[in-house]
Structure 1
Amino acid sequence: MEAENGEGQVQVHLKTKQEHYAVPDVPYAIEGSVSTMELNIFLNALLQSKGAEGVDFDFLVFDEYLRGRLCDHLREKAISFEDAIDIEYVERFPAPEPQDCLLHDDWVSAVKACGKWILTGCYDNTINIWTNKGKHKLTIPGHTAPIKAVDWISMDDENGRFVSTSQDQTAMLWQWNIASNAVECVSVCKGHERGVDSVCVSPDAQRFATGSWDTMLKIWSAGLDDTSEGTAKRVKESGVRTPKMTLQGHRESISAVQWMDATTLLTGSWDHTLKVWDLQMEGIKTEISTNKSIFDASYSKLNRLIVTASADKNLRLYDARTNQGSVVRNTYLGHNAWVQTVMWSNTEEFLFVSGSYDNQNKLWDYRSPKAPLYDLLGHGEKVLDIDWSNPKYIVSGGADNTVRVFKSGKATVENMETK
């Protein structure tokens, strides 16, 4: 490689965990001014003999993706140019491909995929069910104010069960008969005193948690028959369900709620805190203070890290296992308006997606804080919710009255890795 800007040469070892792309483990002398593009050309030339030409790679230098020149990266990390540098390379995750655009009558504020179905919640107070190929199945009235969150409880060939929450201060439990395409409201869940902003169903599908503008976290039964505490008869007659547990601790709206395991919940709030709740103790186990209102938070079971979305345009990575208050592991720069929604992949331990008021979705690798892997364009207005529950599809809803579906390219990666 030719010298540029007099940066001089660096000795590097090229390493990979993807054995079929391994090159000889010898030191290579390269120019310090190289970027990812030039490293790709160099590596592909080495791989030519293995017949693996034309593959796009990303390069990890000291646990962070190279996003500029190697010499600048090393200076930033205070690494001597005299040392031999290990560079790990990984096949680049393929770009998600835009698929369908699902048209609604109002803002789409909630989306959740399950298998081939997509559940959406709208500002016209309705819930909608679609196929992931863009076919509309059902519009469901019932709420009396905009829908803020939805989640699937269970799904089989015959029935789908799900929960919706709304600014009308209620959550509603629904049963959908797929064959007849008919839906009924099983229960109306009453107990919150302001709009219900977030919902999440427990791993065993027996309970769900809600977070509200009334600052309360509430736990409810998700069963078809709420038989405990002698309320079965009353529930059957009135269709009204009351919470099993109410947890107090936040000072502002709870914007995010997620089960970390069967007895542990994560919440994020406008009060600048993340809280981890222990349901057996009925109290807070860990609190992480941030200096920003949290609009969304997502916990990954694969890497046990939390990513948050805030008004200052940035995403942040936290480790709930740390005991030192606010320890930000990384900050992700790229959006240019407040970030409304974020979600980890449940199959790729390094990847997450975000949606923002800048009308953009972005796909991130947490080892690349300086830039996203991809911008997912299509929305003409602010993005209100994003979902990656189905590994094959990234789905987002926005104030342009649409849901955008992106095929996430997962199959391509699997095929490569099983070669």
Structure 2
Amino acid sequence: KDNVINKIEPLWTRKPSELKEEDYMKFYRDLYPMKEDPLFYIHLNVDYPFNLTGILYFPKIKDRMAIEKNNIQLYCNQMFVTDHVDNIVPDFLTLLHGVIDSPDIPLNVSRSYLQADENVKKISTYITKKVADRLEEIFKNERDAWEKKWDNLKLFIEYGMLSDEKFCERALKFALFKNTDGKYFSLEDYRKAVAENQTDKDKKVVYLYATDTDEQYAFIEAAKNKGYDVLLMDCELDSHYVNLLEQKIPDTRFARVDSDTIDNLIPKSEKVKPEMAQADKDDLSAMFKAVLPKGNDYFVEADNLGENAAPVIITRNEFMRRYREMSAMGGGMNFYGNMPESFNITVNLENPVMAGIITEAKSKITPMQELPAEPGKDASEDEKKRINDERQAIKDAHQAVVDEYATGNDILKQVIDLALLSNGLLKGKALSDFIARSEKVIADACRK
């Protein structure tokens, strides 16, 4: 029984000059009656150095769940052959819909033979070029339409840039950025717009971005208050994409707005850290780790962020987070995925609440007893064990004092929980405890 397409007039055999927009749309609806109308199409027609005709349509692709391959039908002299064209066109083009017809594509041959065939290579290159030509044409001549279509094209174009070097070089000219205010920029225009204000001390232009405007709202606002612009990069491929752009655009660095404190995202000069004795740093870190949720790695550091800044800011290292996401995207967690989540905890010494907690802690946590010197090389095994056990016992006793203070300090727990809550990290019992503690604080305030 003939495939249903053979009952439809082969529109791809006609000249583009003979056809109207509605002809292309009707043909698409006949091919894919359950699909949304496409964004636009390309009519292919070449007879040298190979014969190829066809019509390719760009479907709306909003997320990975909408990706469907094997929607391009291959014909030979108007006779259906297959809808598996992954050996004939680059992988990213298999996301397109439509028809290609060529008598010059060898049939019933192995995958390796197809990949080595000169005509197939030329056809693949030609189709990629025509796609890039069409995209660049719309970008140049119909910029408003291009921007309106961008959100539905972005995943396709990023996939193409990541998987095909030649397409990537072309796409750098017509790819867009979208910022958190909904404004679109070409890559070239965006660099011109932010370079003056967002160049760091190492002469790199820093592109700040967010992946969720609700979850990262506070960080976005902090960046805007500094006069910085923030891109919206909410595509599933963006962890890979920003890596690619850092390689393709010289002197460029991407940083998610919640990957560090605002002053550290775009450092303008070498920053002087506040002076703290090592023992005080150790106690501060121990206090926070006593209260923070277990199972993650926390790196606690003190900084002067200003009295109006939050007492505690929790961020995730850009490198570790990005590569964890890339690893997960690849279908396995590998090295990064098997590691605990890591968070940077920045304690703002200039915040009045935090300053009060630290002052009180110093008065209530007695300094750790001086540790005995480490055993020498010539000490006996028994002597080494005795000294090491004594050192550890002193450390454990001091840690118990720190833990008792930290876990009994409702203000410290409240400050930490607020920071966790702002990052979507407060859940389950910890969230319930926070709510109960907050209600108690309100009740106590009302009684006063």
Work out whether the TM-score is over 0.5. no
* Structure with bigger gyration radius: 2
The TM tier, using the shorter chain, reads under 0.3
TM-score by length of 1: 0.24
